[in-house]
Amino acid sequence: MTANRSSNMKRTKRARTGIYVAGSRDRTQFPLAGVDDGMPGVYRSTIAEAALGNSGVGIVVSNSQGTITLVNAPAKQLSQMDPEGKALSAAPSIWGEMSNIKGRRVLVAQWPCMKALRGKTTVSTTCHLVRRDGSSCDVLFGACPIRGAESQIIGTLSSLTDITDHKQKECMLREEAVLSERDRIAADIHDTVVQGLNAIVLQLEAAEEEIIESPEQARQRLRRVREIARESLADARRSMWTLCQESLDNEDPATALALLTQKLFQGKPVKLQLSLAKDTRALPAKMRIELLRIGKEALSNILKHARATRVTVELACLDRELRLSVMDDGRGFVSESLPSSHGGFGLFGMRRRAERLGGRLVVESRPERGTKVVAHLPLPIHLARQCA
């Protein structure tokens, strides 16, 4: 009886033996693998292996000596080999040479898995791996030490997530944004500076022909040339200012929108009406930036196309959302004819910005009756309660 009780207690004690993951607040046992009392280290667990095999994240486990004891399928796929039994110090020959996001080579001692052996946790770091065959991939690499019941390091747990496709898509979107911005700048230069210079050339050519036979008419043309040159210079300065207005991103949105509106329409025969909510500085940085970009695009459209005499800009917190309205009394257009996926006047770009914030953009316009652009953006919970 005593022997059986002793044996049961021993089995119970062994069953409860487990590992602790660094950073766990409640020090809960992490049943990734068992610990063999006779030979310290982390070894296979059938349950853990089955669970990790269904994971989309590469998992690598090592013992306290840095020998790899468990690797799931995604991690093997990244390494293009079976690294079990190899040392973590041989990681570059297994997964490839590592470089950080700045393109600088990372020494093996600074790999997250090696730092975990020294008791340091790496939550997640983006890196680039170049294999021996020349192929490469981008991964999110994290690692932490595995601790025993007495907090001693008995192994490491590393995670590798292949984000190559994500990075490629991100790069493509960035390139598309750059090309779109280049097109916008080119169109802006064409509509302002190029057309102004073309008008100046035509006026000067006409004045040259009239200067002998009709000197007074030639002088009138020269005065017109001076006016066009001043207008073109003002347009060029306005375009340069809008390109450099990123400094407003850190400003209170109400203040930034007011300054942006006044700068864009400075010297124009347009009456401005501003009704802007105060104390919107608490908005998240991303929301402030996208809000300002939507406002800038809507105002630029009015300046370029609307021929308006009155412009109204409103910013308000209503029904737990932030609402930006930009209205004009210009020539308008048939809004129903614009497709939702794209369309002129930068409407698609404004819609995309609103949707990125979980909101929507509503455009109402009628020929010769003006245009109204309204961005409905949901507020963060803590700010929505203030507006409720």
Contact between 21 and 144 under an 8 Å Cβ cutoff? The reply is yes
Return the H-helix or E-strand segment holding 282.
none
- How confident is the prediction along the chain (388 residues), in pLDDT tens digits per residue? 444 544 444 443 433 334 443 333 333 344 444 334 333 444 445 545 555 555 678 999 999 999 999 999 889 888 878 899 999 999 999 999 999 988 999 999 999 999 999 999 999 899 999 988 889 999 999 999 999 989 999 999 999 999 999 988 888 888 888 887 788 778 777 767 787 888 889 889 988 988 888 999 999 989 989 988 888 887 777 777 666 655 566 678 888 899 889 888 887 889 999 999 876 767 888 888 889 889 988 998 898 888 899 999 999 988 789 999 999 999 988 766 554 444 455 788 888 889 989 999 999 998 999 999 999 999 887 776 666 5
| Cα–Cα nearest to 17, from 177, 213, 192, 152 | 152
Rounded distance between C-alpha atoms, residue 341 and residue 347, angstroms:
9
pLDDT of residue 171: 87
Would you say domain 249-388 falls under CATH 3.30.565.10? yes
Q: Where are the domains of the chain?
A: 2-162, 163-243, 249-388
- At 303 the pLDDT is 85
What CATH topology corresponds to 163-243? Answer: 1.20.5
Q: b vs e for 222-240, b when ≥16 Cβ sit within 10 Å of the residue's Cβ?
A: eeebeebeeebeebeebbe
In this prediction, residue 51 carries a pLDDT of 52
Q: What is the Cα 102 distance to its own chain's centre?
A: 18
Distance of CA 349 to the CA centre of its chain: 15
Q: Give the span between the Cα atoms of 317 and 253, in whole angstroms.
A: 13
Superfamily of domain 2-162 in CATH is PAS domain (3.30.450.20)
